[in-house]
Amino acid sequence: MMDGIGIIGGSGLYLLDGFEDVREVTVETPFGPTSDVILVGRLGGRDLAFLPRHGRGHRYLPTEVPYRANVWALKSLGVSRIFSVSAVGSMKQEITLGTPVLVDQFIDRTVARPSTFFGNGIVGHVSMADPTCPALRGLLAQVATEAGVEVIQGGTYVCIEGPQFSSRAESFMYRQTGVDVIGMTNATEAKLAREAEICYATLAIPTDYDCWHESEEAVSVEAVIARLSLGIGRARSLILAAIARLDEAGPCRCHEALAGAVMTDPARIPAEAKVRLAPILGHRLP
């Protein structure tokens, strides 16, 4: 796979129209198995890899999703851009249910999951100032405008550990900070994609109003699933349109994220770490 596209589907996104020559690929990773076998094929003349974040049948908690294995595997297959789709709660009245949000910022409130490829003998620090790819986000906004599909351009996603939904006090606190949507997975993925120098775009699908809304029911699994299909359909059509026009994406610096990021003296990086991180860091190490 060269310059491939990865799609990480969240709750409810498992199928793609026009995905051809599909085969199942299992990738062994130093971080254990991926969420599921990866479906690899062709779509719109491009190589594409699809991975259901929670595994088929929704088997992994947000805390348990093997994010590092997933991103490592996609990188090793040749994926250079990831479109990520996930269900979220809306934290603002004007962020209407089913309208995809093209997230441009995260607040990471997770506490119980690994969210870096570094460690165990190798130290690195990448910038998360602009955590999603401006080129992919811009392209998604452009194809949405042209297709007349409503999207919200930009938004801050607060990522909580879960698996429980927020308490009302937490929901009110997040609202006071001005966040737009709330979810449990994408900040972790965005960090790892950045460390892997992969362009990353989040299409967040609001399915509920968390529990802050006075006249809406507090979020429940039943409500999420009932409202997911409309937004998933929109996200899917936007991704397909964006893939068809990928050559029109603007410039970005995602592929340079690791330039100058490694702090450890190269002579002191353990050989094991170099092997473990070869697909991620190999080109940056002497």
**Residues near Zn ion, by CB under 5 A:** 133, 135, 199, 252, 254
For residue 108, list its beta bridge partners: 159
Closer residue to Zn ion (CB): 64 or 130? 130
Shortest distance (Å) from residue 65 CB to Zn ion: 23
Shortest distance (Å) from residue 80 CB to Zn ion: 9
| 3-state class (DSSP) for residue 246 | helix
Shortest distance (Å) from residue 245 CB to Zn ion: 15
Closer residue to Zn ion (CB): 38 or 133? 133
Shortest distance (Å) from residue 139 CB to Zn ion: 10
- CA 121 centroid distance within chain: 27
Q: Which of 104, 108, 210, 247 is an active site residue?
A: 210
Q: Which of 3, 208, 247, 265 is an active site residue?
A: 208
Shortest distance (Å) from residue 242 CB to Zn ion: 13
- Strands, E, within 44-191: which ranges? 46-52, 79-90, 101-102, 105-108, 152-153, 156-159, 181-183
Closer residue to Zn ion (CB): 135 or 205? 135
Angstrom distance (rounded) from CA 185 to CA 203: 12
Specify whether 21 is catalytic.
no
Closer residue to Zn ion (CB): 122 or 193? 193
Specify whether 108 is catalytic.
no
- Structure tokens belonging to residue 209: 């109003």
- Is-contact 263 125, C-beta < 8 A? yes
Cβ atoms within 10 A of the Cβ of 107, count?
15
Closer residue to Zn ion (CB): 178 or 250? 250
Max CA pair span of the chain: 61
Active site residues: 208, 210
